[in-house]
Structures are given as structure tokens and as C-alpha cells.
Amino acid sequence: MIKFFRKIRQNLLSEGKTGKYLKYAIGEIVLVVIGILIALQINNWNQAKQEEQLEVNYLKGIKTNLNDDIIELERLFVKDTMKLDAFTFLNRTFNKDPITADSQLIIENLYRAAGYNWFEGQNVVFEDMKSSGKSNLTQSDSIKYAIQGYYRFFEEVIKQENLYNSFVEKYTDRNNEYFNITSFTEHKAMDRWNGQTGPPDLSTIYNEEFQQTKNKLLDNFSLMKDSRTHAHEVRQNLYQRAKKLKQTIERYLQHKKEE
């Protein structure tokens, strides 16, 4: 094609048709410019389509992460309820007379109340967006800001959980002096590693000395329950945000699909 155009120009020059040559040269330049503009337009269109697909992929990934968060939080709500019920039982029991209470129920609720509940969460896709500089890829500002807001609160929930669990750990250590902890831990070990300490021992709560100091135990139970309650509340807040953001992303993706 280039040789063809060159031959035309040479013929025009050789025939002395300078005016026609200039017009032809200008026309050729115009064609080249139009070709370049068309190529740029196609390239821009392809790039826009690629970015649009990348946006969809990221949003689908975030929606999957949100669904994982929702499932994890629902599982934690069940554990929260069991622990809060256990603390309530223990407080009510020790506020009365533990001597008349069912020792097996006390032991079961001490086990339920023990330990920690941790929210780990899934923010892999959002962190990938940040590290790869794709945070502004989302065309909808409202969704972009909603995602950023959710993950700011996501980090705050984890910080608050760490704080509340540190409180629970402190009050648990204080309560350990009231129980034979070895009998509670060894009892659960496999035969090979079992210290043979017998069943959990509650004898310390039945003596007169304990009756005079049990308010300290009750205070610790109440403080642990309070920390668990606050952790539960911030998780509920995150849960509602996750569900709302997931629904917003689903509507946005459906709208783009219909365009």
C-alpha cells in the first residue's frame, strides 16, 4: 500500500503536476491522521473495556469477601450468645448460693464462658486493590467510598476486639485463684497426656472463706461479660454494614450487566 502511494506521488512529480501533487500529499496526510485517530480510539476503547472488566472482577471479589465476613460473624454471634448466657448463669448462681446449685451446670458454664472469640475477616481483595493502585478503579464514587468506609470500620472492629479480649484475659487471670485450674485443663487432655487429676474440682467455692470473697469473683464475671457484650455490639454493626455493602455491589453489578 505504501509503495502504491509513493508511485502515484512520483508520477505526479514527473508529469509536472505540482498542484495536484500538493493536494494529494495533503489528502494523504489527512488519511494518515484519521487512521491514527481511529487506532487511538480503538486502543482507548479496548483499554476502557479492560478496566471495566477489572472493576467487575474486583467488585465480585469484594462481594465474596463480604459474604465470608457475614458467615464468620454469624458463627461468632452463636458463640457470643453461648458465652453471654454462661456468664449470666454464673452470676445468678453465685449471687444466690452455689452450694445448692448443680455442680455439673456450674462446670459446663465455666467451660462455655472460657476462651476468646476472634473476628479474623477477609480483606484480601481490598488490600490487593490498594497495593496495586486500583482503589480508584470503581466508576461509582458512592460504592468506592462505601468500600473504603467499610474497611476502615473493619480495622476498628479488630482493634476493639483486641482490647476487649485483653480485658477478658486480665479478669480470667484474677478468677483463676478461685478454682483448681489444673483439674479443669487436665480433665480434657487425651489419656496419654492426662495428668489424672480427676474431674474438675469446685471444692474451693464451698468453703466459708469463699463466701466472704465471692463478690470479687462476681465483679470479674460481670466485667468479662461487659467486654463480651461490647465486642458483640461492634460485630453486629460490622455485620449490618457488610450486608448493606454486599447488596449495593450486587445492584451495581446487575445494572452494569444490563447496560
According to the per-residue pLDDT averaged within each range, which of 24-33, 51-60, 183-192, 238-247 is highest?
238-247
| Region 154-158 average pLDDT | 95
Q: Where are the domains of the chain?
A: 68-258
Q: Which tens digits make up the pLDDT trace of 185-213?
A: 887 778 888 888 878 888 887 777 777 78
Question: pLDDT tier at 2 (50, 70, 90 boundaries)?
Answer: very low
The Cβ of residue 98 has, within 10 Å, a number of other Cβ atoms equal to 19
- In DSSP notation, 88-146 reads HHHHHHHHS-GGGS-HHHHHHHHHHHSS--------HHHHHHHHTT-TT--S-HHHHHH
Q: Regarding predicted confidence, which is higher, 223 or 52?
A: 223
Task: State yes or no: pLDDT of 117 exceeds 90.
Answer: no
- At residue 140, the pLDDT reads 85
80 and 235 in contact (C-beta within 8 Å)?
yes
Question: pLDDT tier at 164 (50, 70, 90 boundaries)?
Answer: very high
- Give 217's contacts (C-beta < 8 A, 6+ positions apart): 94, 175, 178
- At residue 86, the pLDDT reads 95
- C-alpha 98/C-alpha 215 separation (Å) is 13
- C-alpha 166/C-alpha 121 separation (Å) is 19
- Rg of the chain (C-alpha set): 35
| Region 36-40 average pLDDT | 66
Nearest to 128 by CA among 72, 67, 64, 62: 62
Report the run of H or E that residue 158 belongs to, with start and end.
helix 141-175
Question: Which residue reads 480434657 in cell numbers?
Answer: 188
**Residue 121 Ramachandran class (φ > 0 left, ψ -120 to 50 alpha, else beta):** left
- At residue 191, the pLDDT reads 82
Q: Regarding predicted confidence, which is higher, 17 or 168?
A: 168
- At residue 101, the pLDDT reads 74
- In DSSP notation, 216-236 reads HHHHHHHHHHHHHHHHHHHHH
Mean pLDDT of the chain: 82
| Region 124-131 average pLDDT | 90
103's grid cell: 455442680
- C-alpha 160/C-alpha 137 separation (Å) is 31
Helix 208-258 with 141-175: angle, nearest 10 deg: 170
Burial 221-235 (b: 16+ CB within 10 A, else e): bebbbebbeebbebb
Which one-letter amino acid corresponds to residue 53? Q
Task: State yes or no: pLDDT of 62 exceeds 80.
Answer: yes
